Amino acid sequence: MVTRRREFLLAGAALGIGGAAGRTLLAADAAQPAEEVSAVEDLMREHGLLRRLLLIYEEFVRRLRARSGLPGQAFWQTVNLISTFVEDYHEKLEEKFLFPEFERRNVLVPLVKVLREQHDAGRAITAGFLKNEHSSLEGTGFHGERSCEAFIRMYRPHAAREDTVLFPAFKKLLSAKQLDELGDKFEDEENRRFGADGFGKMVEKVAAIEKQLGIYNLSQFTPRRSP
């Protein structure tokens, strides 16, 4: 896991801030134990990655409907990222470590039931896409734009409800020690599946797709003032 303090110091060094003082701070920081990302924070930042993938799906829908040319490779890369990182990794962590804890304690059980059902529904959409992998998106008759829209419509409130209800409640169920141990398990699983800094690698892949589609520049989403 990457420490927030080290990120700040390295950013300052990259900007030329601090000189010798900056080097002193970095040396002192190296001697201190790393500040790990908590288990809940880990899941929430992965939701941030999911939201960027949903934005990519939105762009696919726009292009399919406008018939403005959809890079097939970028589409299948996105589908595979959702399958491997979101569904087979992130959601499996929730299903293995979070949902059973709520069910065992009889807390938020109706919510957990819906979340499980939505995981299954999302995987069904992704599996439907993967059946058509390497096919012409315009010629498969799969109606990919409708499936993308259904996926987006479900996962935006899904992730928001987990961030604002499930995860805060989960932090109250476990002790600080239990949360620390769970964070270690998450890190070990991430490293096993994706190598060191697996999350960072996923962010880079998503950014590359955003750049290919012309939706990477954050400022383009800022509303323009009326004249």
Question: What pLDDT is attached to residue 67?
Answer: 79
Residue 226 covered by a domain: no
pLDDT level of residue 10 (50, 70, 90 thresholds): very low
Assign residue 69 the CATH number of its domain: 1.20.120.520
> What average pLDDT score do residues 124-147 get?
76
Per-residue pLDDT reduced to its tens digit, 73-127: 899 999 999 999 999 999 999 999 999 999 999 999 999 999 999 999 999 999 9
Question: What pLDDT is attached to residue 145?
Answer: 87
Question: 170 with 155, same domain?
Answer: yes
- In the DSSP assignment, the letter for residue 222 is S
Question: 124 with 15, same domain?
Answer: no
Residue 25 covered by a domain: yes
pLDDT level of residue 1 (50, 70, 90 thresholds): very low
Per-residue pLDDT reduced to its tens digit, 20-75: 544 444 444 444 444 567 899 999 999 999 999 999 999 999 988 887 777 788 99
Percent of residues, the chain, with pLDDT higher than 90: 69
> Half-sphere exposure (CA, 13 Å, Cβ side) for 126?
22
Residue 26 covered by a domain: yes
Per-residue pLDDT reduced to its tens digit, 173-188: 999 999 999 999 999 9
Question: 81 with 25, same domain?
Answer: no
Question: 18 with 128, same domain?
Answer: no
Question: 175 with 64, same domain?
Answer: yes
Question: 121 with 175, same domain?
Answer: yes
Percent of residues, the chain, with pLDDT higher than 70: 79
Question: 53 with 139, same domain?
Answer: yes
Structural domain count, the chain: 2
Q: In a 10 Å sphere around its CB, with 0-12 CB exposed, 13-18 middle and 19+ buried, how is residue 40 labelled?
A: buried
Q: Which residues lie below 8 Å from residue 154, measured CB to CB, with a gap of 6+?
A: 118, 121, 122
Question: 20 with 95, same domain?
Answer: no
pLDDT level of residue 197 (50, 70, 90 thresholds): very high
75 alpha-carbon distance from chain centroid: 17
Q: In a 10 Å sphere around its CB, with 0-12 CB exposed, 13-18 middle and 19+ buried, how is residue 141 labelled?
A: exposed
Residue 100 covered by a domain: yes
3-state SS class at 196: coil
End-to-end CA distance of the chain: 46
pLDDT level of residue 136 (50, 70, 90 thresholds): low
Domain hosting residue 24, numbered range = 1-35
Question: 61 with 17, same domain?
Answer: no
> Half-sphere exposure (CA, 13 Å, Cβ side) for 200?
9
